[in-house]
Amino acid sequence: MDWIRQIGRYIVVMLLQVLFFDQLHLLGVCHPYIYILCLLMMPITLPHSIDLLIGAALGLVMDVFCNSLGVHMCACVLIMLIRPYLLGTIVNDKDRLNEQISLRVLGWEALIKYVIVLVLIHHFCVFMLSAWHWHHLVFVLLSTVVSSIVTISVIFGYNALKYK
């Protein structure tokens, strides 16, 4: 039942991503990838390797929409690898991690650390791989910061609304 809800949320988030956030183009550097909300909020009950495969699949779907085969896949697999270790260092009470990752489980402080670190890694990875040259480093860093701010606010907003 829980997984049907996860898939439903993924479809809604993906529609928002493609229909709204991909069309945003604010200032030329704002391209938030809010679809990683689904990856970040996924429970970590599954085996780690399955998590990695889910990350790869979701990344590949986004790649097809962006004509950038491999870029999002690479970034998503990377954050899915880091995720359990990061949660392990942030959260002291390991028993709480058996349910959906959320504000209720983590609390604001841990959630802020967790989301900011992973979103920054993902966005930097995506922008760097699609630019593919140090020549564009300023553009990449600027895009990463601006887009991450939007993505992070969306994820915080989602949590704040759902678990207030």
Partner 1 sequence: MQTLLKILQRYSNFLVFIILEVAAVLLMYYNDAYPRSSFLSTANRLIAWQYDQVESVCSYFALKGINEELVAENAKLRNELVRYESLTEDSILSREVIYPENEVVYLPAKVVQMTTNEVHNYLTINRGLADDIRKGQGVRNEDGVVGIVRTVGQNYSVVLPIINTHTNLSCRFLKNDYIATLQWDGKDNRFAQLADVASHMVVNIGDTIITSGLSPVFPEGIPVGIVENCTLGTGDSYYTIRVRLYTNFKRLKYVEVIQNAHQTELDELENGLD
Placement of tokens 């480093």 in the chain = 137
Answer for the pair 51, 101: CB distance below 8 angstroms, yes or no.
no
Residues in CB range of 120: below 8 A, 6 or more apart? 144, 148
- Judged by CB under 8 A, the stretch of 18-26, 37-45, 104-112, 151-159 that binds partner 1 is 18-26
Does position 53 interact with partner 1 (CB under 8 A)? The reply is yes
Please give the single-letter amino acid code of residue 155.
I
- Beta carbon nearer to partner 1, 73 or 103: 73
Does position 28 interact with partner 1 (CB under 8 A)? The reply is yes
* Angle between helices 71-90 and 48-66 in degrees, nearest 10: 140
Placement of tokens 């759902």 in the chain = 162
Does position 136 interact with partner 1 (CB under 8 A)? The reply is yes
Which residues contribute to the site for partner 1 (CB under 8 A)? 18-19, 23, 25, 28-29, 31, 47-49, 52-53, 55-56, 59, 63-71, 73-74, 77-78, 81, 129-133, 135-136, 139
